[in-house]
Chain A
Amino acid sequence: ILNVEQSPQSLHVQEGDSTNFTCSFPSSNFYALHWYRWETAKSPEALFVMTLNGDEKKKGRISATLNTKEGYSYLYIKGSQPEDSATYLCALDNAGNMLTFGGGTRLMVKP
């Protein structure tokens, strides 16, 4: 059973703060690492799919990095806005036709 861990579980920041959180995963049998943004009562929205060690991806104020050798990925949000409030999920894809999710990081941005 794969173990994907995310930290912290929850995070409260002020509008304008930059923040980051971590996804840790076993580095063996790595195929891809997915990041999702999930607002309450909506569908999880795909942010990034990362496959290569050293990958860096960016979408607006959100970026992510990947280290497959040590088994972690960081998600960064620059200048947090209230609309960034959501749960951020990472999921390991080991090409076994399934995603193994971490428990998520719940981000709350105060205006």
Chain B
Amino acid sequence: DAGVTQSPTHLIKTRGQQVTLRCSPKSGHDTVSWYQQALGQGPQFIFQYYEEEERQRGNFPDRFSGHQFPNYSSELNVNALLLGDSALYLCASSSGTGGYGYTFGSGTRLTVV
């Protein structure tokens, strides 16, 4: 049973460009959350998608947007990239019907140059 799958694993972009990161949730999970982990810090919540809508959002600018598809997979889009957006982006899936479990992917390492 596959866990959470993220793609790509690594990515290098130039300032001002746009990037799309992808996440497939664990089988049976319908909710996807995105986190950003900057160097030396714990992961920070970006937003959560459930039933194809953004259900909760953290303290991130509108340059960060997302989407959830009918098969529960999700995309994170970042526009007008800044050097400070360089980080590890983690996706976590869970069940929207309750319970405490979050399953994480291994992340996408984004480097902005």
Q: How far is the CA of A100 from the CA of B42 in the complex (A)?
A: 9
Size of chain B's interface in residues, with CB distance under 8 A? 26
Residues of B within 8 A of A101 (CB): 35, 42-44
Quick check: which of B13-21, B70-78, B79-87, B102-110 contacts chain A, the rest being far away?
Answer: B102-110
B6, closest chain A residue (CB): A43
Contact B42 A97 (CB under 8 A): no
Q: How far is the CA of A36 from the CA of B92 in the complex (A)?
A: 13
Contact B106 A42 (CB under 8 A): yes
Contact A93 B100 (CB under 8 A): yes
Q: Residue B42 contacts which of A46, A51, A93, A103 (CB distance < 8 angstroms)?
A: A103
Residues of B within 8 A of A98 (CB): 33, 45, 48, 56, 58
In the complex, whether A99 has a CB less than 8 A from a CB of chain B is yes
In the complex, whether B97 has a CB less than 8 A from a CB of chain A is no
Give chain A interface residues in 38-81, CB to chain B under 8 Å.
41-44, 46, 49, 51
Contact B100 A102 (CB under 8 A): no
In the complex, whether A89 has a CB less than 8 A from a CB of chain B is yes
Contact A44 B100 (CB under 8 A): no
| Chain A residues in the interface with B (C-beta under 8 A) | 1, 4, 6, 32, 34, 36, 41-44, 46, 49, 51, 89, 91, 93, 96-104
List 12 extra interface pairs beyond A32-B100, A43-B3, A101-B35, CB under 8 A.
A41-B106, A43-B4, A43-B103, A43-B107, A51-B100, A89-B42, A97-B56, A99-B45, A99-B102, A100-B45, A101-B42, A101-B44
The 9 closest A-B pairs by CB, nearest first: A101-B42, A97-B56, A98-B45, A49-B100, A44-B104, A43-B106, A43-B104, A103-B42, A101-B43
Please list 9 pairs of residues, one from A and one from B, whose beta carbons are closer than 8 Å in the complex, sorted by A's number. A36-B104, A43-B103, A43-B106, A44-B90, A93-B100, A99-B92, A100-B45, A101-B44, A104-B42
